[in-house]
Structure 1
Amino acid sequence: MTSTQTAATRRHRLRPALRPALALGLAAFTALSLTAVPAGTAHAQEKRLKAWGNNRSGQLGDGTWTDFRTTSTTVLGLTSAEVEKIAAGGGGSTIGHGLALLKDRTVMSWGANSSGQLGDGSVFSHNAPGQVVNLSDARDVAAGGWHSLALLADQTVVAWGRNNYGQLGNGTNSDSSVPVRVEGLNKVVAIAAGLNHSIALREDGTVWAWGYNINGQLGDGTSASRNVPAPVGGLTGVTKIAAGCNHNLALVGPPSGGTKPTSGNAVKAWGYNATGQLGDNSTINRYTPVDTQGIWLGGVSQIAAGCNHSLAVTDSDNKLKGWGQNTSGQVGDGTTDYRITPVPVPGIKGVQLVAGGREHTIVLLGDNTVRSWGANGSGQLGNGTTTESSTPVTTLTALTGVDKIAAPVGGDFSLAN
């Protein structure tokens, strides 16, 4: 939905406690939502979820359709204290949506909704958070291009949104604007969403995938899309997963109770590889997992994927390596050269969290500050400019004590809490 659409077609949705008494006057509600809270009140002093970058779909959740923000704006109605986890999705530079898992195990959503990716039973976009329906026991969330996932307390998965390639995993190819059960999947401990596919890590260390597969992103040795989960071939002992637009990463740890090998934990990758995002020293698509090149001395603690680039944090010193597409400097090595094997990101250490967007990267450092680099045409680096940077810049989050960050796999905005 664009900023030229009328207020009457923009549907705003707040959780029940924040809905006005009358269901009429939605446009008026936006104006009321933006009224400043008087300084000095308890409400004004509460920390808030923040967002910056492109906002054409309302993906910043601040009650406006302002084109973009180059510094952080406040997501309406959500205090930092009540937010357990955050996720960001998006299928293009101006398309995006956000998810927030609250401590009461409900999920809030905002932004683009043309395929029902907000899970509110409609296909109307909205620029302020509202509740995902029929969902009260979530433990984790993930957001793809136009679809969303939630991991439930019983270790099953539900999904909602676009389903043209079967990315909802419910045995159909029909979109759903409400959560539907992913078929035949249990004992799940982690989830991730790509542009048009989904993956899940089970407690036995196997990875299961479903959805779009033309580039091998399901890792089953074929290019056939699937609308129910199937195991990724030859992959066991996995401890973490990450999904890019059309590729995936998995971190394979040492055996239970064992010690780390001298070469470190193994990073595996599969799927689309035209820009080297698999890190295997090639640009050949891989239909089953391959080893990312390099010796990871001390192991790897985290992995993350942007649209066509990949990232890993080393365990021993919390430093960062990146590889893949680097058109806008999203690898962070000071160049715009594509990297088909991992390279260090200079000057970055003490990394606590890392997230990749369409063509940008953000990290949370040990001092609870945020750094970003890469594309910045919509202000997604949050440093007050629209100038891209191939080296890290300071993100102006207006927050202290940040402990969560998110970026959309195919979009141009960022979240921090």
Structure 2
Amino acid sequence: MSASCSSDPEEGGALATDSGAQVAPGVQDGASDADVVSDAGSDAALEDVAVPDASPRPVACGGTSCATALVTILGEGFCVLLQDKTVACWGDNANGQLGRGADAGVIASGVAERVLGLVDVVALDHACAIDASGDSWCWGTGPWLQTAAATTKELAPVKLPIPPAKAIRVARSSTNAGTACALVDAGVICWGTNANGQVMPPERDAGPTTAYQPTQQVLPSGSVVRDLAVGDATFAILDDGTVFSWGANPPIGRVSSLYPDPYPRPLALGGFSQIDAANENVCGVAGAAIHCWGWPKTTTTVTQPFDRALPEILVLPESVVFAATSAGESKVTNPLRGCAIGASGSLYCWGNNLSGQVGDGTKDYAITSVKIAGLPEPAAQVRTTPNATCALLTSGRVFCWGADGVGQLGGGRLKWPSAVPREVVLP
């Protein structure tokens, strides 16, 4: 996970509030919107798919202001890893997630500015960064292990007391973030609140609001974890594309009678190269196709509580190399919002568009995927919040669109929305 001008994708997640181990109703894979997805069938019927050779296009910096990675932050906002190995953020700051220090307070900003004190950063997720020595630094509101409290609000980065990390993944939601996991030499460790059984089996914990220290997760002997995603459930992607999940059910993406299910078990679908998790929504790339799952799709006439429990493939016009989804969206939307990057570098989005966050110049709900026009270069990464979208291009430039109530489009001021891509001014 280098901070050079070729960047690896970083994933994020979101906090949930379900608690207690109990038996859930039978999880069944239901029908999907024929215009958008084809049913992947039952979990047992899903077949392994080889990890595709295609991967997100690298970033080749073409100027002095260049980003090499893009992530969302708590609420509506974004951060980028810059080519000089510093981090810049913009948007919502109610929880200190812009990391500008006590003097700046918690005022939202449409100006991309550097996070205070961060240098030599090599990896980024949510409001956490890993430096070249493996130290993890986090800011804003989260499980930062600074006190016995489940979360603390840090207006500037603080160092986490965890072993040197290769990746850190923090739950993201519109209101809170209380669970985190990291990939370290010993494997996967998780800490914070245990509302969804992501830290330890619920029968061993002291309650959903208790904060827990980093705890080793039990994966099969010899497992080599390549990456993590953290939402209402945690996903460990192995080198061979196998994914182990644990946590809320849904969205663990597999059949289980436990709710939550705190025991890492593999998804039947294999061949994953990347996963993005946000609250109850998950999308990932497997076999050069995008698959999404999580909480149910609901119409005005019928609700099928578990009709999105297992991965469903979304139909796009080309092979997919990168996927993104968002948290905090109403479950009545069908399909739920997301974006994907094709092997050509073209960007596609779908779902809720009341704020122009799909990026097609309209505010019409996108039942099928829309190819985004107006991007001057191919896309390398894309990130979505409920109301905005940002894309990192192969040149290192960043473009955003959608709502701008807290400056999340990075246009230099607040409340300057756009239904088409507009460039962010990077420091």
Are residue 336 (structure 1) and residue 376 (structure 2) matched?
Answer: no
2:135 maps to what in 1?
106
1:222 shift after superposition:
4.9
Letter in 2 for 1:322: C
**What is the CA–CA distance in structure 2 between the aligned matches of 1:285 and 1:181, rounded to whole Å?**
32
Matches within 5 A, 1:10-409: 48-63=86-101, 64-79=104-119, 82-88=120-126, 98-113=127-142, 117-123=143-149, 124-136=152-164, 138-145=165-172, 146=177, 147-154=179-186, 156-169=187-200, 172-173=204-205, 174=207, 175-176=210-211, 178-184=213-219, 186-194=223-231, 196-213=232-249, 216-222=250-256, 224-232=259-267, 234-253=268-287, 265-274=288-297, 285-296=307-318, 299-307=319-327, 308=329, 309-315=337-343, 317-348=344-375, 349-385=377-413, 386-398=415-427
Letter in 1 for 2:239: E
Q: Which ranges of structure 1 fall in alignment gaps of 5 or more residues?
A: 1-45, 89-97, 254-264, 277-281, 399-417
Taking a change above 3 Å as real, the CA distance of residues 375 and 170 of structure 1, as seen in their structure-2 partners, is farther
Taking a change above 3 Å as real, the CA distance of residues 57 and 221 of structure 1, as seen in their structure-2 partners, is same
Residue 217 of structure 1 aligns to a residue whose secondary structure is coil
Contact (CA 8 Å) 2:199, 2:212: kept in 1 or not? no
Q: Deviations over 1:49-69 (max 9, x none)?
A: 211111111111110323201
Computed over aligned residues only, the root mean square deviation of the Cα atoms, in angstroms, reads 2.5
| Greater Cα offset, 359-368 or 218-227 | 218-227
- The runs of 4+ residues in structure 1 deviating greater than 6 Å are none
> What TM-score do you get using the length of structure 1 for normalisation?
0.69
1:177 shift after superposition:
5.2
* Aligned residue pair count: 314
1:314 shift after superposition:
0.9
Q: Deviations over 1:295-349 (max 9, x none)?
A: 32xx22212222252111111x211011223232222222233334322112224
Taking a change above 3 Å as real, the CA distance of residues 164 and 325 of structure 1, as seen in their structure-2 partners, is same
1:353 shift after superposition:
1.8
Residue 99 of structure 2 aligns to a residue whose secondary structure is coil
Q: Which ranges of structure 2 fall in alignment gaps of 5 or more residues?
A: 1-83, 330-336
**What is the CA–CA distance in structure 1 between the aligned matches of 2:111 and 2:389, rounded to whole Å?**
16
1:169 shift after superposition:
4.7
Q: Deviations over 1:106-142 (max 9, x none)?
A: 10011113xxx12334433110111110322x11121
Q: Deviations over 1:156-181 (max 9, x none)?
A: 21122222111335665554353222
1:283 shift after superposition:
11
**What is the CA–CA distance in structure 2 between the aligned matches of 1:129 and 1:243, rounded to whole Å?**
24
1:12 maps to what in 2?
none
Q: Which has the higher contact order (CA 8 A, sep 6+)?
A: 2
Contact (CA 8 Å) 1:120, 1:178: kept in 2 or not? no
> What TM-score do you get using the length of structure 2 for normalisation?
0.68
Contact (CA 8 Å) 2:349, 2:372: kept in 1 or not? yes
Letter in 2 for 1:313: I
**What is the CA–CA distance in structure 2 between the aligned matches of 1:328 and 1:222, rounded to whole Å?**
37
Taking a change above 3 Å as real, the CA distance of residues 302 and 166 of structure 1, as seen in their structure-2 partners, is same
Residue 332 of structure 1 aligns to a residue whose secondary structure is coil
Q: Deviations over 1:54-110 (max 9, x none)?
A: 11111111103232011122211112xx1011111xxxxxxxxx1001110110011
